[in-house]
């Protein structure tokens, strides 16, 4: 009898270990060589993982078909948890006849300019946006909107190389930092070199959009034809001491419906997904609420990451990582009976991301003061002594050391509590002379 497996396209070793241990026998993994090489976690059995270079999609699909045949595995569906792996998931689904958003829908939803153009034409509120390749393009856009702007890569994720600019001088800095950052970026799947179907190279063209001042939120939802259901809504606390777009903490359930009307929001998000070509997917949406209106920033056909899966598990008793496997397998009744609207009145919990603000090599991490705090329900540190921290704009991931989940006190505002708890993480650092030499060498070569 053939085994059945959900194919998990290109995720990280921590997710692989979690799925492999919690849902044994349900998934197999396509893993990038560099992810497996640097992983502290033990990999799955050979029958449950393909480790290869994920940049050549045709070769990956060939290896996948050979692997399925060799191990007598029948693919049950495709699941994806990472932006840069969505194209791989889509291509694999096409070749194997499995449901997953098509490549065009993936390309459009990941493009920070084209998605907003489509929403604008459909009458869906979103920031005004443009695609730019020169500083003069940015100046013209800023003069046109008469407001601060956000400059970002066309196909990025999170806060990487995202800049808020109030004047020409800041635009100059941002433009050159993005251009330099993308030119030598090692993640070729996130920032694919070469021109796309619209004749645009995402390493030479950037997105610029109007900055909208308001309360930030994100949500996960399921869309499957006419069926639509919100899974979670999180309020976002921005980190004012980090690069633009960095989230310090999430609070779940977010009190979105104190600001806007429930039914209208549901209709807006469903339509926004449909016009991007997303008709069957688990999606994440980011948006800002200003003057009673939700302005969409992005919709991506994958569940939210960071500490959100743990936060959803704590607040709703729902494992969204496992839910993605259920959805890929086309299982029915995968959500709790009560709707999100009923759940939204439940007790709030916050997920705080723990950062290092100093570059170097971690010598020791002490969480004793955090664990002793009565508000804290969970603390997870993903880095060990010896971990190298490189700060933005050279790297955006290594500074994230872990997260904690806590029950906020009603006596103090949330941001104050986040800063207080963050200060209780004690880190000993050593200087990273070798990396400093590499950086200085690179800068000297660029200036020569």
Supply the pLDDT for residue 184: 79
CA distance 155 to 355: 24
Q: pLDDT tens, 22-43?
A: 999 999 999 999 999 988 899 9
Q: Where are the beta strands (DSSP E) in 98-243?
A: 129-132, 149-153, 163-165, 206-210, 215-224, 227-238
Class of domain 215-430: alpha beta
Domain boundaries, the chain: 3-100, 128-210, 215-430
Distance of CA 4 to the CA centre of its chain: 28
Cis geometry, peptide bond prior to residue 24 (ω within 30 degrees of 0): no
Torsions phi, psi of 374, nearest 5? Answer: -65, -20
CA distance 346 to 310: 16
CA distance 70 to 180: 44
Q: pLDDT tens, 91-120?
A: 999 999 999 999 999 999 999 999 999 999
Q: pLDDT tens, 289-330?
A: 999 999 999 999 999 999 999 999 999 889 999 999 999 999
80 burial level (CB within 10 Å; 0-12, 13-18, 19+)? buried
Mean pLDDT of 54-63: 96
The yes-or-no verdict on residue 345 having pLDDT over 80 is no
Supply the pLDDT for residue 447: 31
Beta bridge partners of 404: 352, 379
Residue 158: pLDDT band with limits 50, 70, 90: confident
3-state helix/strand/coil string of 61-126: HHHHHHHHHHCCEEEEEEECCCHHHHHHHHHHHHHHCCCCCCHHHHHHHHCCCHHHHHHHHCCCCC
What proportion of the chain, given as a percentage, has pLDDT over 70? 92
Order of all β-strands in the sheet with 400-406: 293-300, 280-290, 215-224, 227-238, 247-252, 349-355, 400-406, 376-381
Tokens standing for 383? 């880095």
- CATH no. for 128-210: 3.30.1490.20
Mean pLDDT of 380-399: 92
Q: What is the DSSP letter of 145?
A: H
Q: What is the DSSP letter of 348?
A: P
Q: pLDDT tens, 163-211?
A: 999 999 999 999 999 999 888 777 777 777 666 666 677 788 999 999 9
Distance of CA 289 to the CA centre of its chain: 20
- Would you say 266 and 228 are in contact if contact means Cβ atoms under 8 Å apart? yes
Q: pLDDT tens, 394-443?
A: 999 999 999 999 999 988 999 999 999 999 999 999 987 654 443 433 33
**Is-same-fold flag (3-100; 215-430)?**
no
Which of 332-346, 384-398, 410-424 comes out lowest in average pLDDT? 332-346
Pair type for strands 129-132 and 149-153: unpaired
Mean pLDDT of 246-262: 93
Hey, is 15 helix, strand or coil?
helix
CATH architecture of 3-100: 3-Layer(aba) Sandwich (3.40)
């Amino acid at each position: 009898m053939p085994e059945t497996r959900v194919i998990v396209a290109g995720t990280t070793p921590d997710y692989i270990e979690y799925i492999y241990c919690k849902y044994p026998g349900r998934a197999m993994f396509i893993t990038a060589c560099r992810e497996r090489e640097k992983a502290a976690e033990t990999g799955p059995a050979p029958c449950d993982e393909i480790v290869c270079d994920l940049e050549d999609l045709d070769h990956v699909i060939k290896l996948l078909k050979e692997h399925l045949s060799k191990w007598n595995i029948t693919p049950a569906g495709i699941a994806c948890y990472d932006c840069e792996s969505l194209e791989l998931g889509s291509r694999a689904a096409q070749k194997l006849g499995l449901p997953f958003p098509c490549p065009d829908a993936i390309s459009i939803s990941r493009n920070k300019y084209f998605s907003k153009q489509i929403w604008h034409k459909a009458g869906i509120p979103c920031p005004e946006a443009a695609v730019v390749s020169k500083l003069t393009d940015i100046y013209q856009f800023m003069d046109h909107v008469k407001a601060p702007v956000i400059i970002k890569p066309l196909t990025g994720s999170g806060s990487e190389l995202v800049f808020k600019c109030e004047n020409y001088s800041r635009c100059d800095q941002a433009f050159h930092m993005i251009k330099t950052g993308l030119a030598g970026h090692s993640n070729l799947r996130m920032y694919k070199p070469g021109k796309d179907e619209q004749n645009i190279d995402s390493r030479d063209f950037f997105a610029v959009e109007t900055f909208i001042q308001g309360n930030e939120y994100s949500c996960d939802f399921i869309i499957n034809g006419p069926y639509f259901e919100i899974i979670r809504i999180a309020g976002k606390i921005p980190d004012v001491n980090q690069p633009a777009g960095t989230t310090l903490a999430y609070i779940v359930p977010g009190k979105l419906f104190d600001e806007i009307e429930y039914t209208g929001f549901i209709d807006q998000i469903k339509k926004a997904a449909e016009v991007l070509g997303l008709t069957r997917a688990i999606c994440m949406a980011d948006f800002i609420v200003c003057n009673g209106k939700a302005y969409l920033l992005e919709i991506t056909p994958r569940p939210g990451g960071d500490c959100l899966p743990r936060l959803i598990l704590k607040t709703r008793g729902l494992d969204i990582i496992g839910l993605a496997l259920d959805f890929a397998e086309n299982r029915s009744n995968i959500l709790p009976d009560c709707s999100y609207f009923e759940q939204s009145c439940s007790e709030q919990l916050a997920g705080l991301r723990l950062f290092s603000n100093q570059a170097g090599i971690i010598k020791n991490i002490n969480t004793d003061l955090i664990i002793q705090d009565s508000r804290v329900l969970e603390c997870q540190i993903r880095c060990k002594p010896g971990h190298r921290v490189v700060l933005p704009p050279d790297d955006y991931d290594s500074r994230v050391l872990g997260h904690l989940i806590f029950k906020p006190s009603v006596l103090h505002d949330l941001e104050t509590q986040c800063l207080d708890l963050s200060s209780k993480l004690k880190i000993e650092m050593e200087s990273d002379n070798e990396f400093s030499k590499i950086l200085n060498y690179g800068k000297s070569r660029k200036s020569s």
